[in-house]
């Protein structure tokens, strides 16, 4: 039997076992469905809150002291309602969540406006209620616009150009594209895609090594007169296949969430052209090779299925750490960063989804580093499978 034939038999056997294993299928399918839905739900709630904030009535206590302010708020599209009771009752209503906030206009408001001195306004809020914050922020913005309108009117009344109050006219010259700006907020999308390379084949990698040893089926498999490397490569490629499927499903689910949920109302969009998505999958494929090789190697050290799961669960920090660092301070695009396994793929996927041009070198360096790590891990695992201590878990 040739090496390739032996490898193919092992690969087919592991794929069939993996498809029959509900745990392997559950881990490979749950992540690509659950993760995009979670972030879609999160940003959907943010979009809904922003939409609802403009429709929340503004409860006012003492509206009779500032009829012009009330008229301005209503002209701006806001609904002004009378706050219940007195000041203490208004505080109690906000504290108990009956009202998101209460705007209090004191009796001396009109006097201060007439004398062109700062007029006091009080906003009763409960900072511990995050769900009420968008409504109070929207009302505060309307009040700031009203204050700016009064300031311009006072300057004009005194024969002063309002532009005098703005000695600097700062204009941003934005160089980043809309996709690059959106990626700053949706930076976890590349992280989800790369984490899928570790999650998709994790269960199969554990079951094909530590699981088979625990069940006693690894020894009969190794008794066959075939190279140990062919057996290891077959198990490795089976885990790779599950990881790649998980990557594709995760990427497609992220695209569907971005395009067909209320996330689009936030004005956030990534470059999701078919060519770009194909580039992301091509960039993640070497990461899947490396992830599966690491998992097979680590699981081979474990003496039991549970022990292997514990060890492999720590490998999830490989794609998570670069993503977290990139969100806080950026990863750059130096050759050293691109050659670092995990970091290079994060940079590459971010550039692709951000609509940036990717040079051949930026694509090749992460691929090479991942393939080198994968080859080393497979080679070490094949050497380990020749030792009786590893075969019998001693």
Of 121, 142, 165, the last residue of a domain is 165
Say whether both 67 and 197 belong to one domain.
Answer: no
Task: Provide φ and ψ at 8, rounded to 5°.
Answer: -65, -40
Question: Which bin fits 82, alpha (ψ -120 to 50), beta or left (φ > 0)?
Answer: beta
Sorting pLDDT into bands at 50, 70 and 90, what band is 178? low
Domain assignment present for 171: no
Of 131, 165, 199, the last residue of a domain is 165
Say whether both 153 and 215 belong to one domain.
Answer: no
- Residue 211 DSSP symbol: I
Say whether both 378 and 229 belong to one domain.
Answer: yes
Over pLDDT 70: what percentage of the chain?
A: 83
pLDDT at 289 (0 to 100): 92
For the segment 60-78, the average pLDDT, to the nearest whole number, is 88
Domain assignment present for 95: yes
Residue 169 clears pLDDT 80, i.e. is over it: no
Domain assignment present for 173: no
Say whether both 17 and 98 belong to one domain.
Answer: no
Of 112, 138, 165, the last residue of a domain is 165
Domain assignment present for 112: yes
Residue 1 or 291, more confident = 291
Q: What is the pTM of this model?
A: 0.68
User: Which residue matches tokens 């032996």?
Assistant: 6
pLDDT at 175 (0 to 100): 59
Which tokens in the block code for residue 305? Answer: 């299925």
pLDDT at 237 (0 to 100): 92
Residue 305 clears pLDDT 60, i.e. is over it: yes
Say whether both 106 and 224 belong to one domain.
Answer: no
Domain count, the chain: 2
Q: pLDDT, tens digit, for every residue of 103-113?
A: 999 999 888 88
Q: pLDDT, tens digit, for every residue of 96-135?
A: 888 888 999 999 988 888 888 888 899 888 887 777 777 8
Say whether both 222 and 335 belong to one domain.
Answer: yes
Helices 343-353 and 188-199: angle between axes, nearest 10 degrees = 130
Domain assignment present for 16: yes
Residue 394 clears pLDDT 80, i.e. is over it: no
Q: pLDDT, tens digit, for every residue of 233-280?
A: 998 999 999 989 888 988 888 888 777 766 555 556 666 788 888 888
- Average model confidence (pLDDT) across the chain: 80
- Residue 64 CA: distances (Å) to CA of 57, 82, 384: 17, 10, 84
Task: Give the whole-angstrom CA distance, residue 106 versus residue 356.
Answer: 54
Residue 311 or 366, more confident = 366
Domain assignment present for 146: yes
Domain assignment present for 170: no
Say whether both 151 and 203 belong to one domain.
Answer: no
Q: Is the dihedral of CA 244, 36, 251, 315 positive or negative?
A: negative
Say whether both 272 and 386 belong to one domain.
Answer: yes
Domain assignment present for 51: no
Say whether both 200 and 335 belong to one domain.
Answer: yes
Residue 7 clears pLDDT 60, i.e. is over it: yes
Core vs surface per residue 29-44: b (16+ CB within 10 A) or e: eebbeebbbebbeebb
pLDDT at 55 (0 to 100): 76
Residue 187 clears pLDDT 70, i.e. is over it: no
Say whether both 42 and 60 belong to one domain.
Answer: no
Residue 240 or 168, more confident = 240
Sorting pLDDT into bands at 50, 70 and 90, what band is 205? confident
Contact 59, 103 (CB under 8 A): yes
Highest mean pLDDT among 45-54, 317-326, 378-387: 378-387
Say whether both 160 and 209 belong to one domain.
Answer: no
What is the domain-level CATH number for residue 147? 3.40.1710.10
Residue 15 clears pLDDT 90, i.e. is over it: no
Over pLDDT 90: what percentage of the chain?
A: 5
Say whether both 60 and 42 belong to one domain.
Answer: no
For the segment 303-327, the average pLDDT, to the nearest whole number, is 73
Give the domain range for residue 67: 56-165
Residue 174 or 32, more confident = 32
pLDDT at 330 (0 to 100): 61
pLDDT at 376 (0 to 100): 93
């Amino acid at each position: 039997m040739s090496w390739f034939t032996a490898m193919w038999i092992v690969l087919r056997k592991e794929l069939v076992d993996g498809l029959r294993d509900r745990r392997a299928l559950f881990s490979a399918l749950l992540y690509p469905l659950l993760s995009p839905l979670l972030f879609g739900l999160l940003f959907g709630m943010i979009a809904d809150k922003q939409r609802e904030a403009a429709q929340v009535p503004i409860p006012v206590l003492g509206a009779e002291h500032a009829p012009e302010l009330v008229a301005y708020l209503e002209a701006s599209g806001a609904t002004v309602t009378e706050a219940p009771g007195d000041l203490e009752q208004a505080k109690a209503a906000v504290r108990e969540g009956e009202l998101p906030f209460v705007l209090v206009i004191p009796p001396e408001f009109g006097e201060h406006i007439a004398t062109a001195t700062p007029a006091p306004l009080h906003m009763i809020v409960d900072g511990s209620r995050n769900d009420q914050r968008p409504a109070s922020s929207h009302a505060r913005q309307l009040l700031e616009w009203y204050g700016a309108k009064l300031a311009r009117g006072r300057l004009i009344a005194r024969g002063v150009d309002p532009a005098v109050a703005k000695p600097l006219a700062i204009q941003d010259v934005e160089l980043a594209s809309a996709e690059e700006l959106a990626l700053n907020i949706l930076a976890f999308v590349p992280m989800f895609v790369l984490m899928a390379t570790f999650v998709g084949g994790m269960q199969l990698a554990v079951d094909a090594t530590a699981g088979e040893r625990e069940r006693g089926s690894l020894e009969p498999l190794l008794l066959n007169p075939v190279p140990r490397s062919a057996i290891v490569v077959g198990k490795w490629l089976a885990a790779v296949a599950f990881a790649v499927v998980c990557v594709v499903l995760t990427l497609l689910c992220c695209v569907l969430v971005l395009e067909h949920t209320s996330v689009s109302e936030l004005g956030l969009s990534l470059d999701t052209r078919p060519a770009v998505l194909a580039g992301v999958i091509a960039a993640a494929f070497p990461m899947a090779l490396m992830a599966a090789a690491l998992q097979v190697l680590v699981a081979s050290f474990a003496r039991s299925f549970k022990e292997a799961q514990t060890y492999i669960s720590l490998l999830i920090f490989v794609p998570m750490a670069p993503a977290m660092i990139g969100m806080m301070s950026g990863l750059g695009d130096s050759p050293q960063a691109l050659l670092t396994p995990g970091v290079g793929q994060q940079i590459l996927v971010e550039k692709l989804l951000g609509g940036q041009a990717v040079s051949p070198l930026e694509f090749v360096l992460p691929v090479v580093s991942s393939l080198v790590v994968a080859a080393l891990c497979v080679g070490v695992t094949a050497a380990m499978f020749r030792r009786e201590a590893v075969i019998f878990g001693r």
